[in-house]
Amino acid sequence: MFKINIEFYYVVTVDRNLKQRCAIKFCVKLGESASVTFEKLKQAYGEHSLSRAQTFRWHKAFFESRKNVEDEQRSGRPTTSKTDENIEPVRTFVRSDRRLTLRMLSE
């Protein structure tokens, strides 16, 4: 149950961020400054708007001809280690002792 809520939150957050990046790109095309763009995002998204630093970073990227609103691929560890192979063993392990902590699970 809790895992589903976290995944849902992640999807909603990523979707909201992509929409805001599209809005930033639109503002750049209209010639709006980064400050004006940030104020518009705050007005539209309230407490869920991108930070000032993120807004300025994306504004600069689009101003310098960036086209894609999605994040660049990064090397390294994937953002999640949830695979079909490890879901059931972890579920079984947790159900055997509900007092387990995350630290105990990672060991």
pLDDT band at 2 (very low <50, low <70, confident <90, very high): very low
Q: Does 13 or 5 have the greater pLDDT score?
A: 13
- Residues 14-29: what's their mean pLDDT? 91
pLDDT digits (tens, 9 = 90+) for 51-102: 999 999 999 999 999 998 887 777 776 666 666 777 777 777 777 777 777 6
For the entire predicted model, the pTM comes to: 0.61
**Please, are residues 24 and 55 in contact by the beta-carbon 8 Å criterion?**
yes
How confident is the model at residue 78, as a pLDDT? 63
- 64-75 burial: b if 16+ Cβ within 10 Å, else e: eeeeebeeeeee
Angle between helices 52-63 and 34-45 (to 10 degrees): 130
Q: What is the pLDDT of residue 49?
A: 93
Q: Where are the domains of the chain?
A: 2-68
Q: Which residues contact 36 (CB under 8 A, 6 or more apart)?
A: 27
Residue 1 has a pLDDT of: 41
